[in-house]
Amino acid sequence: MGVRTPASLRTGVDLLRRVAATTPGVITVIAAVAVVLCLVTGLVCVNELSGKTARRDASLQRAEPLDYAAQRLYVALSQADTSAATAFLSGGVESPQVRAQYQQALADAADALATATTGTNDPGSRRLVAQIDADLPVYAGLVESARANNRQGFPVGSAYLREASSLMQTSLLPSAAELTTERFAALRDDQRAITGPPWPAIGLLLVVLIGAVAGTRVLLRRTNRLFNLGLLFAAGAAVLALVWVVGATFVSSGAVDTGARGPTVRAEDLAQARILGQQARTDETLELITRGDTTSTEADFATKTATLRDRLTAGAGSNSPLSQQLSHWVAGHGIQVQDYSAANYPAAIDQAIGAAPTASAATFTGLDTAIGDSLGRTRTQLRDQIASAGDSWIGAAAGTLVLMVFAAVAVVAGLWPRLKEFQ
């Protein structure tokens, strides 16, 4: 048994059909649909295009600083581990300079961790930050135990330091590395959101344009007039808005260089290079503390420095200053290995942590500082490009809304005289 339609509803539907079948009815339907479509398109354009400038602001205020904080966190943690190993190799009471380096590294790590904690919202990043926050005091406690025993000449001090380094290598640094990877991914997502085409806005503008053409053809058949100025102006407004949006898309996309020599890729390469350098430096000092077979450690050092070289030469060339500094450090490490293999342990330690300009401590510090400076300059370029990409959308939201409101008014103004002809 079918559902009965109320008589009043059937009457209303029949009336609408009869009205729509007449020329005034057709004109009224065209006007109503066109006005609604223009206004909806204007609102969608405002939402899409203002969202891009808002994403630009969020990227500069949150995503990029969090990415940089994650990098600083990893480097600070690794520097703390290297400084602790250097202090242990010094024997007895370490120098005030080495002690200050260790304490400064811990302070830098705590500061970077605080920054990452403040701006992190996703569960994965919060988990990583919480893990680092829990492990860092444990690590510091183990280092202090190693320091106290080492000052008294107790062999157990090396065991404490190995445990501390193991915690750093197996938990703290992997968590920091994963956080850095996540932050890089979030930054790339922001870049794509800022520079990508606003497809809903473009699609609706095309619909407005097609609708204006279709409405003109219908009116041609009904009124025998080739053009309607209202629909013509509406189509022109849609074309102008479409050109504006497409042009802003090209300008925004061109503002961000994602090529091999661009700051986006270069920043990732430099950040990973700095991480690899810190890892290799840790291997370099720990193998002197363990005083055992260095075959596996040396293989690991060779692998990391080779990957480090690839990162440094990507987009910069094999003869770049950074690559040359890396060669100096690796050459100094080779002298350390020769001394160690010759059972000249004091000479190996002096090469690893000594004050000579050719010692590994000096050459690595020079390399790490140079990478950090280059990363700072690249970061400035990256922020400038993100800002420029967002600036390309300034005015587009308000401009397209004004054009679509104008189109809606033009449709009414153009069709109203045609409608009055039938009164």
Q: Based on the number of CB atoms within 10 Å of its own CB, is 362 exposed (0-12), middle (13-18) or buried (19 or more)?
A: middle
E strands present in 58-132: none
Structure token digits, residue 417: 């005289």
CB 401 within 8 A of CB 39: no
Distance between first and last Cα of the chain: 45
Q: Domain 73-192 is in which class?
A: mainly alpha
- With CA atoms as reference, report the closest residue to 39 among 232, 199, 234: 234
- With CA atoms as reference, report the closest residue to 139 among 83, 69, 68, 72: 83
Element (H, E) at 124: helix 123-151
CA 122/CA 307 separation, integer angstroms? 31
> Which DSSP symbol is given to 356?
S
Kindly list the distances between the CA atom of residue 276 and the CA atoms of 168, 205, 321, 332, 370, in Å, as whole numbers in the listed order.
15, 49, 18, 17, 14
Tens of pLDDT along the chain (423 residues)? Answer: 444 556 555 565 555 566 556 777 777 888 888 899 999 999 999 999 999 999 999 999 988 998 889 889 998 998 888 888 888 877 656 677 888 888 899 999 999 888 887 767 778 888 998 999 999 999 999 998 988 888 877 778 778 888 988 899 899 999 998 998 888 888 999 999 999 999 999 999 999 999 988 888 877 776 666 667 888 999 999 999 999 999 999 999 999 887 777 888 888 888 888 888 888 888 888 888 877 788 888 888 999 999 998 888 875 556 678 888 999 999 999 999 999 888 898 899 898 888 888 898 899 989 999 999 999 999 999 999 999 999 999 999 999 999 999 999 998 888 877 666 665
CB 217 within 8 A of CB 358: no
Give SS3 for 154: coil
Structure token digits, residue 204: 């609706």
The predicted pLDDT at position 3 comes to 47
The predicted pLDDT at position 423 comes to 58
The predicted pLDDT at position 251 comes to 94
CA 102/CA 191 separation, integer angstroms? 36
Backbone phi, psi, residue 92, to 5°: 65, -135
CA 310/CA 91 separation, integer angstroms? 36
CB 293 within 8 A of CB 275: no
Structure token digits, residue 241: 């808005």
Please state the domain extents for the chain: 73-192
Q: What is the pTM of this model?
A: 0.82
The predicted pLDDT at position 217 comes to 84
Structure token digits, residue 175: 């968590």
Please, what is the Cα angle at 209 between 204 and 210, to 5 degrees?
95
Q: What is the 3-state secondary structure (H, E, C) of 216-240?
A: HHHHHHHHCCCCCHHHHHHHHHHHH
CB 150 within 8 A of CB 143: no
Please enumerate in sequence order all residues whose Cβ is within 8 A of that of 326, keeping only pairs 6 or more positions apart, or say none.
277, 305, 308, 309, 312, 367
